[in-house]
Amino acid sequence: MNLVSVEKDWTVVVSGKHESALLTLNAQLRRIDLMCKLVGPLFIALIDGYSTKLALIVNFGLNIASVPVEYYSIARVYYDVSELQVPKTTQPTDIPCDSDHDSERVRMFARQRRNSQAVVTRFISDFAFYIHHPVFLASFAESLRYLTVLSFAGQMVTFLVISGYSSTQVGIARTVSVAFKVLATWVAPLLIIRIGPLRAGL
């Protein structure tokens, strides 16, 4: 939820209507995310090559230590940018009572039903927009990648370790993989400026 909120929703609000600011902010956030994925796994893999127990302790300690910093940073941005504090949805108004015998439970049920219908309608509308978008096939193919060994996720790492590769070797391979992704954060903005976001995304 944090990733979706900050990288997908907050960036749009913070950058306002400035497309260049949004492009820069997205690239910087992606770069930070990838640098953490670049340094973190390699650091832990190198420690794991020495002692798995020590690697677990260090990983746990770093996770605990990062929680206050992360939440402080999120809260700071939230309170510094007043637009983020504006509610995204409005509370539904009460349905007028036809008689004095209408209970609060009936009114609450009617509100919940109306909210549920609005959510379903919005979902169908968004899904139809996604399917008819020019980058749908490329986006869908990218999603399917996570079901294959092309993604450096837990399944592939587990397979490599079972196949006989050491944690250090897997960590180095992941580092090389993420290095290409970091490089893309510099290349992508230049491509978007030259050929547009749609073609650059494809």
| pLDDT tens-digit readout, 132-191 | 888 888 888 878 877 776 677 777 888 888 888 887 788 788 888 778 888 887 888 888
Rounded to whole angstroms, the Cα distance separating 196 from 29 reads: 20
Q: What is the pLDDT of residue 68?
A: 92
Residues 6+ apart with CB under 8 A from 10: 77, 81, 84
Tokens of 24: 């820069």
How much of the chain exceeds pLDDT 90, in percent?
4
Rounded to whole angstroms, the Cα distance separating 4 from 33 reads: 13
Over range 104-125, report the average pLDDT: 76
Rounded to whole angstroms, the Cα distance separating 107 from 110 reads: 5
Between 71 and 39, name the one with better pLDDT: 71
pLDDT band at residue 100 under the 50/70/90 scheme: very low
Over range 89-114, report the average pLDDT: 59
* Alpha-carbon torsion (176, 177, 180, 181), positive or negative: negative
Query: pLDDT at residue 106 above 60?
Result: yes
Over range 60-72, report the average pLDDT: 91
Residue with tokens 């009617």: 110
Over range 32-40, report the average pLDDT: 80
DSSP letter for 98, please: S
Q: What is the pLDDT of residue 195?
A: 87
Residue ranges covered by each domain of the chain: 2-87+167-201, 110-135
Rounded to whole angstroms, the Cα distance separating 123 from 114 reads: 14
Rounded to whole angstroms, the Cα distance separating 58 from 64 reads: 10
Over range 8-12, report the average pLDDT: 79
Nearest to 171 by CA among 15, 69, 40, 23: 40
pLDDT band at residue 73 under the 50/70/90 scheme: confident
Q: What is the pLDDT of residue 154?
A: 73
Nearest to 81 by CA among 139, 149, 13: 13
Q: What is the pLDDT of residue 74?
A: 86
Q: What is the pLDDT of residue 150?
A: 67
**Contact status, residue 141 vs residue 202, Cβ threshold 8 Å:** no
Rounded to whole angstroms, the Cα distance separating 26 from 12 reads: 9
Range in 53-67, 95-109, 153-167 with the lowest mean pLDDT:
95-109
Rounded to whole angstroms, the Cα distance separating 117 from 125 reads: 12
Tell me the whole-structure pTM to 2 decimals: 0.52
Over range 37-62, report the average pLDDT: 84
**Contact status, residue 170 vs residue 177, Cβ threshold 8 Å:** no
**Contact status, residue 137 vs residue 124, Cβ threshold 8 Å:** no
Range in 58-67, 92-101, 183-192 with the lowest mean pLDDT:
92-101
Residue with tokens 């306002």: 16
Rounded to whole angstroms, the Cα distance separating 140 from 131 reads: 9
Q: What is the pLDDT of residue 64?
A: 94
